[in-house]
Structure 1
Amino acid sequence: MTINLTDAYIERCDKETEDTIAQEQSSFLATPITYFKQHLNEFLYIESPTFEAVKIDAISLEVDDVFRTYMVLLGLKVQKKHTSTIKTFLEEHLHTTETKNYSAMFSGEDGLWELNIPIDFIEGFSESMTVHEALTLALQFIQKLIQTTEQNN
């Protein structure tokens, strides 16, 4: 899966206030992902029509303050009936001997899953990646999750 984010809306934001620090061009995605370990107070917010293919409207990327893992946060447009499949998929496909600091909660109000996924634990992740490469890896992971829910439907 190749993702084209040239038309994406991208913001760097302050974690504490959620205020926009700067609106970025797609060229920011070539930044090493380690940028977020050097700027722990920031997160990246991205909206793109490309995300519709994987049933999400926006994605955020940050470093978790406690575990120091790179996290993607997103809302996944999948029905609540897939609870078991989603949680099993996350347990089986996030690889680590450490605490699996992910969360998956269904929001009945919004009708979607609120997922927080440590991309450090996705097979193929490396701290030498760019932001774009890390997002691509995360979106491929979400695409596999969606395929699994569709197969188990």
Structure 2
Amino acid sequence: MRKEKLSFDELSIERCEKETDELIKKESVSFLKELLGYLNSHKNEYIFLEADWFDAIRIDGLTLEKDDVFGNYDAMFGLKLQKKYRKEMEAFLDRTLQGEKSYDLLFNGEDGLWDVNISINDLPSYKEDMSLRDAIENIYVYLLELIEETAEKK
């Protein structure tokens, strides 16, 4: 499996208000040393991330937040995969996610993207004390595997 060295210095990091989507603050890469639990103590916020290297995992941006209802840490993104891969995507998620296997897939025909929401808590690599940086790296590797097993396998 290919795993490039991720350049976190290129990452755009924004903390935003959940209710209004207003920018709270643009953060430097050092912010990613914070534990994922940061989202637990700042439930009114989400973190929006963008990087050129997201192209390798076919996403434009990544949002991390604490789910208000279920209490999980969520990763949300638009995934550039054709609609015909639904069955393969669901099979991969069902087989690899742990615990509740909490995810949502919705194909958005307007922009041709899958709106995806995955519980970070259900990733095989999840650890309660992981940093935001670790979470991003784990999501990156997980999505590489998803793409390799679905779209690139065909």
Q: TM-score, normalised by structure 1?
A: 0.94
Question: Could you list the runs of 5+ residues in structure 1 that have no partner in the other structure?
Answer: none
Tell me which stretches of 4 or more aligned residues in structure 1 moved more than 4 Å. Answer: none
- Residues in 2 aligned to 1:17 and 1:101: alpha-carbon distance in whole angstroms: 26
User: Who is 2:143 aligned against?
Assistant: 142
Aligned length, in residue pairs: 151
SS in 1 for 2:60: strand
- Residues in 1 aligned to 2:74 and 2:6: alpha-carbon distance in whole angstroms: 19
1:60-101 Cα shifts (integer Å, max 9, x gaps): 0001111111110001111001010011111111111x3x33
The answer to whether the Cα contact below 8 Å between 1:5 and 1:50 also exists between their aligned partners in 2 is: no
The answer to whether the Cα contact below 8 Å between 1:62 and 1:70 also exists between their aligned partners in 2 is: yes
SS in 2 for 1:67: coil
1:13-51 Cα shifts (integer Å, max 9, x gaps): 011111111011111111111100011111000110010
Counterpart amino acid of residue 140 in structure 1: V
CA RMSD of aligned residues (A): 1.1
Q: TM-score, normalised by structure 2?
A: 0.94
Question: Could you list the runs of 5+ residues in structure 2 that have no partner in the other structure?
Answer: none
Deviation of the 1:152 alpha carbon? 4.3
Alignment of 1:35-46 (within 5 A): 35-46=38-49
Counterpart amino acid of residue 128 in structure 1: D
1:113 maps onto 2:105 in alignment: no
- Residues in 1 aligned to 2:17 and 2:102: alpha-carbon distance in whole angstroms: 22
